[in-house]
Amino acid sequence: MLQRIQTVYLILTFVITGVLMFFIPLWSLNGKPFYFMQDQVYTVVLGLSTMLTIISIISFKKRQNQFVMNRLNIILNLILLGLFVYRSLNLSGGTATAAPEKGIGMFLPIVAIVLLVLANKAIKKDEDLVKSVDRLR
């Protein structure tokens, strides 16, 4: 259901995890950009996150399942962010002319986490509304 705000948040999360990560490098080392596809662990975790987002979009009728899937997706994005930070702290220093540069791609999981939290707030609001209507019957 595209008219629900949580679906919009989830679609934006899909765009970040499923589309933008292909085009935005995580960091640059010796002038070569490093994308997530160059490491198998990043690819698996990001693929799981994208798959959970798609399943969450499709299961709009089951709000509780959607809520749980979003929480799992938040955990996956936190793990991914931790892996990015760990790897960026362990990057070799390089030479004075070609120092490693951190890219904005490292911070995309933070944006995805914020969007997932907003989607969960909207799902909770919908669930509370349905419960209040059920009480009136």
Q: Are 9 and 115 in contact (CB under 8 A)?
A: yes
Determine which helix (DSSP H) or strand (DSSP E) holds 34, and give its type and residue range: strand 32-34
Q: How many CA atoms lie within 13 A of 102 on its CB side?
A: 12
Give 6-47 pLDDT, tens digit per residue: 899 999 999 999 898 888 888 887 778 888 888 889 899 999
pLDDT of residue 80: 92
**Cβ(84)–Cβ(26) under 8 Å?**
yes
Q: Tell whether the model's pLDDT for residue 93 goes beyond 70.
A: no
CA–CA distance, 60 with 103 (Å, rounded to integer): 34
The pLDDT tens digits for 44-73 are 999 999 999 999 999 888 889 999 999 999
Domain boundaries, the chain: 5-126
> Which pTM value belongs to this model?
0.86
> How confident is the model at residue 71, as a pLDDT?
95
